[in-house]
Structure 1
Amino acid sequence: MMKQLLFTAIVAIGAATTFAQDAEVKRLKDESNKTIKKEPEQKEGWTKGGVFNLNLSQGASKNWAAGAEKFSFSVNALANTFAYYKKGRNAWDNTLNVQYGIVNATSIGTRKNDDRIDLLSRYGYQLGDTAKSRWYVSALVNLRTQMTTGYNYTVEPKEKNSNFFAPAYLLVSPGILYKPNAAFDVFLSPVTSRWVIVNAANKDIRRLFNFTDTTKGSINEIGAFLTANLKKDLAKNISLTSRLDLFSNYKNNPQNIDVFWTNTLGFKVNKYIGVSYNFDLIYDHDVKNVKTGGLLGTQLKSLLGIGFTATF
């Protein structure tokens, strides 16, 4: 009896294993036969849109044994907009990214935790066959700054380290653009002019941005520049916007490449509720630490929020 049961169990396991293997082989064949989905081509005329996020959070405690803030409140707003134009061989892309956030807590008072204005405009003229070519002769202008005063809170008293147009980065760059579809592109320029601007109202912090002559309002840098952009729907309700800028200053330590990498990942729960995650990485060899006077090093910032979201 035991031999029969054992034989039956072995046969059943073998049959199940064979079936599972057959199913797996069939799945792999089906996967290999699937057609790869191509990204859509950019449409003729204007393509406009954007996303707006408003995230709020609040907390309170009283006699909490584990320790907690008595009161905390934060608000973060983000608006990413774009306007793309294409007609024949001409392509004109414009993006505007505005972010701002503040946090208030009993122990630290009110501080901002996000602040950015980033405007980019790029024109390209398509080379070769308009139906096949993905290459453009191109030029772009980019302006980055912030809205309000920033402080270093690691020193006492706090010390101002940034403000509106202090700094501002203005970049003018002719180059070559590779744009295979509407979701991804890479721009490369061997000769780019960049200005680091700190206005007269904030001349006291020019030293933090490598101004050897603090009587001047700007520094001009010449170098190589690359920017890569990705704007893609990862799933039905998940979108990713990513941009990577690399700049090498020929005049000063060209081996030290400045990096600006910004990412926004959006999860849409329903029409008006969404989750957003922002991750930024900045490395600028010329920016100094307020506290030590040495190089600031790699700057990292991330924000996770749940709140109102609108796509338009």
Structure 2
Amino acid sequence: MKPIVLFLLCTLAGMSATHAQEWRKEREEVEKRFKTVAEDTAKARWRKGGIFNVNINQGSLTNWAAGGDKFSFSLASTFTGYIAYREGRRSWDNVLDLAYGYVNTTSLGGRKSDDRIDFTSKYGYDIGKKWFLSVLLNLRTQFTNGYLYDSVPPRLTSRFFSPAYVLLAPGFDYKPNDELSVFMTPISSRWVLVMDDMLSSQGAYGVDTGKHVLYQLGAYVSVNWAKEIMKDITFKTRLDLFSDYRHNPQNIDVFMTNMLNLKVNKYISANVNVDLIYDDDVREFVNSKTGVKGPRLQVKQVIGVGFSARF
């Protein structure tokens, strides 16, 4: 009987070892699947990316009968980055837009052609039927000093955080699809910051003379639309409207930016940017007929072909 018992014990031990090995392998596969699902879920919650463009142009003339500047150089660069979070009925969108351009010519010297820092953060909670209860924070300013070249020497009119616009707004956000967002609120707070002492002493950008901060309370609307018109051609636009209840509410401040991007290949693209600004508190522009300073519609256009990187 002893050999039989020994044989049975060995057989049972072998079966147990085989079963344990199979169970361990099965458990590892299940854990791997759970890990993959967890990673995919985390990726689905967070989305991030961006695009960087830089365009460089250079020209020179030697004994050129048609005339022109002997040397010219221009650089235009833009960056747009975003981080977005989605989980259930909650969403959080963060977008950073940066732009800087520089031009140098023999006759005019060096001056900037573009300068922007624009950050928007928006948190929303889905309340149904494509409407979100949201809170929006926006900051707009610039990198370097800005001048108007209507006199000699040129007049300093702006610099970093002079001005800066900080807007905080609770409101409603209508998002019928991934291309369109319409944010609106009847009550928003906006701070106009002029941190430079010289500009604040002039009462620039609507601040009281010698003050650095102007507080505004008003209605705010922001429309964002991005659309791939056709393959490798995309159009993006943003329109911000603000009405200050406490000072000339009928004079609505307008900020609009438009970008048309044409992708040539993985690293080459062409883009057209057109920005429009109207701010009744910016009275830096001299009327050639009356000689009186006042607000004007500000228009900026940039066209470029150059290097593009997406990530």
Deviations 1:92-148 (A, max 9, x none): 1110000001000000000000000000000111103xxxx2001111000000000
Residue identity opposite 1:302 in structure 2: Q
Query: Mind listing any 5+ residue stretches in structure 2 that lack a counterpart?
Result: 1-42
Cα distance, 1:205–1:97 mapped onto 2, change above 3 Å: farther
Cα distance, 1:110–1:69 mapped onto 2, change above 3 Å: same
Question: 1:55 maps to what in 2?
Answer: 55
Q: Does structure 1 conserve the Cα–Cα contact (< 8 Å) formed by 2:189 and 2:218?
A: yes
Question: 1:275 maps to what in 2?
Answer: 270
How much does 1:49 deviate? Answer: 1.4
TM-score by length of 2: 0.82
1:285 aligns with 2:280: yes
Moved more, 58-67 or 115-124: 58-67
Residue identity opposite 1:284 in structure 2: D
Question: 1:230 maps to what in 2?
Answer: 225
How much does 1:208 deviate? Answer: 2.5
Structure 1 consecutive aligned stretches of length 4 or more whose deviation exceeds 6 Å: none
- 5 Å-filtered alignment, 1:190-269, equals 190-204=186-200, 206-211=202-207, 213-269=208-264
Cα distance, 1:252–1:273 mapped onto 2, change above 3 Å: same
Cα distance, 1:232–1:210 mapped onto 2, change above 3 Å: same
Q: What is the alpha-carbon distance in structure 1 between the residues aligned to residue 285 and residue 202 of structure 2?
A: 11
Deviations 1:271-290 (A, max 9, x none): 11110111000000110115
Cα distance, 1:121–1:156 mapped onto 2, change above 3 Å: same
- 5 Å-filtered alignment, 1:1-312, equals 44-128=44-128, 133-204=129-200, 206-211=202-207, 213-289=208-284, 291=286, 294-312=293-311
Query: Mind listing any 5+ residue stretches in structure 1 that lack a counterpart?
Result: 1-42
Cα RMSD of the aligned pairs, angstroms, is 1.5
Highest Rg: 1 or 2?
Answer: 2
How much does 1:50 deviate? Answer: 1.4
How much does 1:267 deviate? Answer: 0.6
Q: What is the alpha-carbon distance in structure 1 between the residues aligned to residue 110 and residue 196 of structure 2?
A: 27
Cα distance, 1:207–1:215 mapped onto 2, change above 3 Å: closer
TM-score by length of 1: 0.82
Deviations 1:22-74 (A, max 9, x none): xxxxxxxxxxxxxxxxxxxxx95112111110000011112222221100000
Identical aligned pairs, as a percentage?
Answer: 48
Q: What is the alpha-carbon distance in structure 2 between the residues aligned to residue 304 and residue 143 of structure 1?
A: 25
Q: Does structure 2 conserve the Cα–Cα contact (< 8 Å) formed by 1:165 and 1:198?
A: yes
How much does 1:205 deviate? Answer: 6.2
In the alignment of these two chains, the number of paired residues is: 265
